Chain A
């Protein structure tokens, strides 16, 4: 059974940095695109970033472009999100998720999600 387990949640001050990790198991990690999605308290879902299977193509939402970096280590079956210059509005639960295909393809939906982890940005 596929499993995604996030780690790295924490509390940081505005302007600070944090790295999130997502450990994958139960599937062939490098066959899947991986994603980060966040949900601010009481709000909806926002797709933040994506990376293809071999890590050479990435996507960022405008809200995090230039501040966040997505990466993956296929030898460790792990996805990362390096978050910098954090703002109060970045406070949210962050989920990692996978898709078998990229945007605009029949398998572009998110079929497995991690449990989520809370990132608090506050002074």
Chain B
């Protein structure tokens, strides 16, 4: 099983700031099949990024993903008020699908 470790656990930032979230895998993620999801309180997760770097439909271009093999990042170029949420990474390259524990981006 691939273990995904996200860091940091919490980020305290202000609107307009740039931030980078990390997701590190315990072994190489096959074909970089890594996704990022955003979850707001009381809501379901929403797909942001798939294939490590492809934005999902309707996702603003301030969100970008990068990385390969075991090290992946999600960058938000300029935080908007609606971006304060929890972000999860997930690998779907090998069974079982596994999620990271999440990074909370909170308002400073």
Excluding A46-B99, A103-B93, A109-B33, 12 further A-B contacts by CB distance (< 8 Å) are A45-B45, A45-B99, A61-B96, A95-B45, A103-B92, A108-B33, A108-B93, A109-B90, A110-B90, A111-B56, A113-B45, A114-B44
Expressed in whole angstroms, the Cα–Cα distance for A116 and B44 within the complex equals 6
Indicate if the CB atoms of A109 and B47 lie closer than 8 Å: yes
Cβ–Cβ < 8 Å partners of B46 in chain A: 113
Report how many residues on chain B are interfacial, defined by Cβ distance under 8 Å.
26
Q: Does B77 sit at the interface, judged by CB under 8 A?
A: no
Q: A103-B94, A111-B47 are in contact. Are A45 and B88 (CB under 8 A)?
A: yes
Q: Is the interface of A mostly helix, strand, loop or mixed?
A: loop
Chain A residues with CB under 8 Å of chain B are: 44-47, 59, 61, 95, 99, 103-106, 108-116
Return the CB mask of B73-101 against A: 1 if under 8 Å, else 0: 00000000000000010101111111111
Expressed in whole angstroms, the Cα–Cα distance for A46 and B90 within the complex equals 10
Expressed in whole angstroms, the Cα–Cα distance for A59 and B94 within the complex equals 13
Cβ–Cβ < 8 Å partners of A106 in chain B: 31, 33, 51
Cβ–Cβ < 8 Å partners of A111 in chain B: 47, 50, 56
Cβ–Cβ < 8 Å partners of A115 in chain B: 43-44
Cβ–Cβ < 8 Å partners of B93 in chain A: 103-104, 108
Indicate if the CB atoms of A44 and B33 lie closer than 8 Å: no
Cβ–Cβ < 8 Å partners of A59 in chain B: 95-96
Q: Count chain B CB atoms within 10 A of each CB in A47, A112, A114, A116 and give the residue with the most.
A: A47
Expressed in whole angstroms, the Cα–Cα distance for A112 and B98 within the complex equals 17
